Amino acid sequence: MRHTLLGFCGLLAALALLSACGASTHDNSLEEPGGAPSVPPGSSPPGGGSGDESPAPEPGQGSPSPSPGQLTAGDWDDNLNFSFFQKYLTEAPQGLPAHPSGDRVVITVRDAEGRPVPNARVTVGDAAGKRLEAPTATDGRLLFLPSHDGARSGAAFTVTVAPPPGQEGEPLTTPVEGTAWNLTLPGARGVLPSELDVAFVVDATGSMADEISYLKTEFQGIVDSVRSTYPQVSARFALVMYRDDGDEYVVRPYDFTSDLGTFRQRLEAQSAGGGGDYPEAMERGLGAIHQLSWRTGNTARLVFLVADAPTHTQHYQSFLREANRARLSGIKVYPVAASGVADEAEYLMRLAAQLTLGRYIFLTDDSGIGGPHAEPHIPCYQVQLLEHLLIRAIRSELSGRRLPASGTEVIRTVGSPRQDGSCMLQDGTVAYL
C-alpha cells in the first residue's frame, strides 16, 4: 500500500523538522514486545486493499525509493463546523457508538491583553461535584461536554481557572452559562509554548508493510525549513507502534527523546506484519500515549494517529475513552486516515479529533500514487501536500492559532471555498476550512 507508506514518510518528515529546535535529557524507552493469544480472522475491509494483512516481502527490494513531497491530503475541523458534525453523527452507520456532544461548551481563557493562555488549569463543577478538570490548549481553548461529562440537563456550572505552571496569580472562580465561556484570567500572561511533545501512533500491521523503509526520504528539507522559525523550542518525539491481538506484539511504545538519531534507531528497528482481519488494536495504540512522559509545563502536546483501519467493534468505547483521556491531559489528536479507511474508521478518528480540538487529516488521490481513497463525509476542503499540512499543524500549535494554507500550497479545492475560507453549501449553510 504505497500511498499509505508515503503518507507516513511525510509524517516523520514533519517530526524530524523540529529535531534541532531544542534539547531535553529525558529519554526513557518503554518498548513492550509481548503479544497476546491469537484470534480468528474477521471480515475484509470495504473495497479490499489495505485490509490484506498477509506477510509482505521486505520493502524496498527491486524498486527505487519514491521521491519526497508527493503525497496529497486534506483536513477538516468538526468543531469549526459543529452543526455539520451533529448531522454527520445522526447519519452514521448502525453499530457505531453514540457521541453526546450537542451541548458542547467552548471554554477560552485569555490574559488581560486578549492573548490566549495555554495550559491554564480549568475545573468545571455543578451542585453534584466536579465535572471536568483539564488544561487549555495553546490557543487557550478547552471543550466541556456536559452530557458526556456526566452533568444533568439544566445544571448550573461554576468554573475555576488556575494560572499555568510557573506563573503567579490567583485562580479565577465564576458562574457561567451559555455555550461559549470567554474568560479573562487576571495576572496571567499568554505566552506561546517553549516546549513541543509530538507522539506518532502508527498501525504496524501487514497492510502498512513498506512505511518504515521509506521514512527518511523527506527528513532534511523540512528540518531546515522549520529550524529557523522556532529555534528556541525544546522539541521531543515519541513513537508507538501497534498491531493486533495474536501478533508478535500488540503495542510497542518508545518514550520521548530530543535526539533524532535515537528516534531513527528506534524506527529502523521496526517492521510491519501480522493483522489478519480488517480491524486492529487502535484503542491499545492510542491508550499507550498515556505511558509516555508528556511534559506539563508550557508545552504543546499533540499526537498523529496514522491508521488504515478501525478498532474492533467490541473496543469502540475503549477507543473513545482513550481519546477522552487525551482531552483531559491536554493532548490534541490529529488522526491521519490512510487508503484503507472506511466509514467506521473515519467516524472513530473524527470523534477523537473533535474531542481533543484536533483536525481530521485524510489522504487523497491527487498524487496518483497507490490505490483509490474513499471520499470523506465532508463538503469542503483544500488538497495540499501532506508534508505542508503536517508542518502547518505543528506550527499552528506553536503559534496559538490556526495557520491557513497559502494560495501556492493549494493543489485543488472541493466545495468551492472562498478566499476567506468559507464554503457556501447547496442548502444555504456555510462551512469553514
H/E stretch holding 185? none
Per-residue confidence (pLDDT) for residue 259, from 0 to 100: 85
Alpha helix (H) ranges present in 251-305? 260-268, 282-287
Q: What is the pLDDT of residues 236-249, one digit of tens each?
A: 889 999 999 998 99
Amino acid at 5: L
DSSP state of 181: E
CATH topology agreement for domains 2-96+193-432 and 105-184 = no
**What's the CATH class of domain 105-184?**
mainly beta
DSSP output for 247-260:
SS-SEEEEEEES-H
Is the pLDDT confidence value at 132 over 50?
yes
Per-residue confidence (pLDDT) for residue 275, from 0 to 100: 75
396-420 b/e with 16+ CB inside 10 Å = b? bbbbbebeebeeeebbebbeebeee
Per-residue confidence (pLDDT) for residue 242, from 0 to 100: 94
- Give me the residue spans of the domains in the chain: 2-96+193-432, 105-184
Q: 2-96+193-432 maps to which CATH number?
A: 3.40.50.410
Q: Model-level pTM?
A: 0.87
Hey, what's the cell of 369?
500514487
CA angle, 58 as apex, 53 and 64 as ends, to 5°? 115
Is the pLDDT confidence value at 111 over 80?
yes
